[in-house]
Structures are given as structure tokens and as C-alpha cells.
Amino acid sequence: MEWLKTHRNDAILIAALMLLGGALAVFLYATRQDGGYVSVQMDGQTVMELPLSEDTQVLLGEDGHTNTLVIRNGTAQVVEADCPDQICVRQGAVQYEGESIVCLPHKLVVSVEGGQGSGIDANTG
Ligand SMILES: [Zn+2]
């Protein structure tokens, strides 16, 4: 019964591929955790760098020009701002490298930098 053997091998191959795909997805998800730190830029200049591992709250800017940035549980979020569009507040929390919160009226950019293990590479060369 040669056909039976062939079909069984196919089933094993498909199962193996599914398992591999699942493992890859878990791996990609796991490596996307910890974003490292957030870089705060105002008017094109980096004014602050805050680690995502430490919960904190900072008030950025001056009167009539402020954004309240909260770092909690490894995520960064602008919880309050006095800009007219409130886009930065509505954007919600960011936590992965490459994600950012932008407040155009205040020329504020909060971006997640340096994921886990990439700090060394960024400083060499
Ligand atoms: Zn804003």
C-alpha cells in the first residue's frame, strides 16, 4: 500500500511546516517585546531619553505648549496635551522599536529606539 505511506509523509510534512511557522511567529513576537528606550525630540533636537523599563511621568514643554508623557509597563504614551488636534493623545501607547508619537503643533516626536540587543550594533562602525 504505497499510497498510504506517501500520504502519511505529506501529513507529517504539513504538520512540521505548521509547527515551524508557529515557532517563527512566536520568535518574531518575542523579539518585538522590549523596545529599549524612548527618544524625545522637540523642534528637531533630542531633549530626553527615557528607558521603557522605568515607569515615569514627564511634562514636556511650557505653558500653553505641553505634552504629558507617561511610561508604564514598557509602553510610552502621551496622556495629555494642550495642542489643538490631540492627535498625539489619540495615538495611544507605543512600545516597539520604530514606533513613534508625533505632535505636529508642538513639533514633538517621541520615538522608540534601540530594541533588545541592538544597542551594541548601533554604536559600532
Ligand atoms: Zn499633540
Handedness of CA 37, 42, 45, 48 (dihedral sign): negative
Written as tens digits, the pLDDT of the chain (125 aa) is: 566 666 778 889 999 999 999 888 887 766 655 569 999 999 999 999 999 999 999 999 988 899 999 999 999 999 999 999 999 999 999 999 999 999 999 999 999 998 654 444 444 44
Ligand 1 centroid–CA 21 distance in Å is 40
Regarding whether 49 and 21 lie in a shared domain, the answer is no
Regarding whether 67 and 49 lie in a shared domain, the answer is yes
- Which uninterrupted H or E stretch holds 40? strand 37-42
On the CB side of 84, CA atoms within 13 Å amount to 1
Q: So what's the pLDDT on residue 9?
A: 84
Q: So what's the pLDDT on residue 64?
A: 84
Regarding whether 47 and 19 lie in a shared domain, the answer is no
Q: So what's the pLDDT on residue 118?
A: 44
Which pLDDT tens digit goes with each residue over 18-39?
999 988 888 776 665 556 999 9
Domain count along the chain: 2
Where in the sequence is the domain holding 47, given as residue range(s)?
37-123
Of the candidates 101, 95, 104, the residue with the CA atom closest to the CA atom of residue 40: 101
Q: What is the CATH number of the domain that holds 68?
A: 2.60.320.10
Cell numbers found for residue 20: 515551524
Ligand 1 centroid–CA 122 distance in Å is 29
CB 55 within 8 A of CB 72: yes
Ligand 1 centroid–CA 109 distance in Å is 10
> What predicted TM-score, i.e. pTM, was given to this entire model?
0.66
Regarding whether 118 and 68 lie in a shared domain, the answer is yes
Regarding whether 98 and 67 lie in a shared domain, the answer is yes
Regarding whether 111 and 85 lie in a shared domain, the answer is yes
